[in-house]
Amino acid sequence: MKLAIVAITSGGVQLARRLGSQLPEARVYLPEKFRGRDDCDYFDKPLAIFFPQLFAEVEQLICIMATGIVVRILGSELQGKDKDPAIVVMDEAGQFAISLLSGHLGGANDLARRLAQVAGATAVITTATDVNNLPAWDQAARDAGLQVEPVAHLKTLNRLLLDGSKIALVDRRRRIAGTFSAVPGVTLYDNFSAAIRSNADGLVFVTHRFLPHLQDQPEMLALRPLDLVVGIGCNRGTSAEEIEQAVRSKLKQSFLAFASIGCVASIDAKQDEVGLLEFAKRNKLPLQFHSAEQLNKVEMQSPISFHAQKAVGAKGVCEPAALLSAGLGDLLIRKQKIGNLTLAVAEIQA
């Protein structure tokens, strides 16, 4: 579920219903005692039990109640800015929309601004970059559909922005370059080598390339485009652990980032393959399946697999599946057999 609205008082309930009618993607949750003839959802559990359960299911949460209630109940549930849903708190009169949690990565700042427009409220945003009218790396990443790696380094890079320190940005596809073109201290470089030689205080790379020692360098940040498709074929019963180990190992060996996987692709005969499904679910990766007929129409670089042809009716699985889901983009890793599976990687056609 993407967006939920929760209210607990009579005044809050009225505002929640109004917001629910103006935000069609939202589900409205109200205490059972306020049940009416509407499309809202009602809960009869104590808020201290219901609230954490809902928090774990949503991407964004609008809480029409006192900020202290939200903090006290959900404080122990927080895991990190890359995992927690966005939270915006509103008073029952609809005067303020406070971005409380996951302002940039989760989109709480944008949600607060949206609520300000919809409800006539004042958006309350306290993130330092916003207050100083500067773009933040995590907000720019969210807007461009990029994954931040590692999230812990955001603190350093955003501080460098605020200080006006020298930051070298490598963004060959110009995904965020325009956002930072006029920001003091940020200089765009054509390649990694030039950026590193610049002796900048911070380095930001927009790339799907694996960067050795990234985790150990707090002044370095990678923004990952989700432009890799991993095509997978596997024997029946192949475990999620074996699939994950093979994918991570082969990507690293090929200097490609696991965080840039945008999709996993296979043949429709594997739609019930437990290990494959678990691997995708565990890493929150979308799965796409193609029929043997579709796969057979793709021109492959690797030899025909007679085993696959006999088993599922396709000349190959991992390579054509990756290419199909990538919009017939470039094949970065040709078919590789690793244990009980085969894999290939293609770059999504821009």
C-beta of residue 345 within 8 angstroms of C-beta of residue 338: no
Helix H or strand E encompassing 167: strand 167-170
Q: Would the pLDDT of 273 be above 70? A: yes
Return the pLDDT at 299.
Answer: 85
Q: Would the pLDDT of 306 be above 80? A: no
pLDDT, tens digit, 9 for 90 and up, residues 79-114: 988 889 999 999 999 999 999 999 999 999 999 999
Return the pLDDT at 67.
Answer: 96
Fold (topology level) of 228-347:
Nucleotidyltransferase; domain 5 (3.30.420)
Return the pLDDT at 292.
Answer: 92
Mean pLDDT of all residues in 65-89: 94
Return the pLDDT at 1.
Answer: 65
Contacts (Cβ under 8 Å, ≥6 apart) of 221:
137, 148, 149, 150, 153, 154, 156, 157, 202, 203, 204, 205
Return the pLDDT at 131.
Answer: 92
Q: How many residues does the chain have?
A: 350
∠ CA 263-264-268, nearest 5°, is 125
Residue type present at position 272: D
Q: Would the pLDDT of 241 be above 80? A: yes
Contacts (Cβ under 8 Å, ≥6 apart) of 220:
153, 202, 203, 204, 205, 211, 214
Mean pLDDT of all residues in 198-217: 96
Return the pLDDT at 313.
Answer: 67
Q: Would the pLDDT of 311 be above 70? A: no
Domain parsing of the chain, residue ranges: 3-126, 137-225, 228-347
Helix H or strand E encompassing 144: helix 137-144
pLDDT category, 328, cuts 50, 70, 90? confident
Helix H or strand E encompassing 262: strand 261-267
C-beta of residue 273 within 8 angstroms of C-beta of residue 233: no
- Please state, for a pLDDT cut of 90, what percent of the chain lies above it: 91
**φ and ψ of 117, to 5 deg:** -70, -45
Which pair of structure tokens corresponds to residue 315? 């000349």
Mean pLDDT of all residues in 316-326: 95
Mean pLDDT of all residues in 303-328: 81
Question: Closest Cα partner for 187 from 201, 214, 106?
Answer: 201
Mean pLDDT of all residues in 199-214: 96
C-beta of residue 234 within 8 angstroms of C-beta of residue 273: yes
Q: Would the pLDDT of 350 be above 80? A: no
CATH number of 137-225: 3.40.1010
pTM: 0.87
Q: Would the pLDDT of 310 be above 70? A: no
Fold (topology level) of 3-126:
Rossmann fold (3.40.50)
Q: What is the mean pLDDT of the chain?
A: 94
Read off the DSSP letter of residue 327.
T
Report the alpha-carbon distance of residue 16 to residue 22 in Å, rounded.
10
Return the pLDDT at 315.
Answer: 85
Return the pLDDT at 308.
Answer: 67
Read off the DSSP letter of residue 59.
S
**φ and ψ of 269, to 5 deg:** -65, -15
pLDDT category, 130, cuts 50, 70, 90? very high
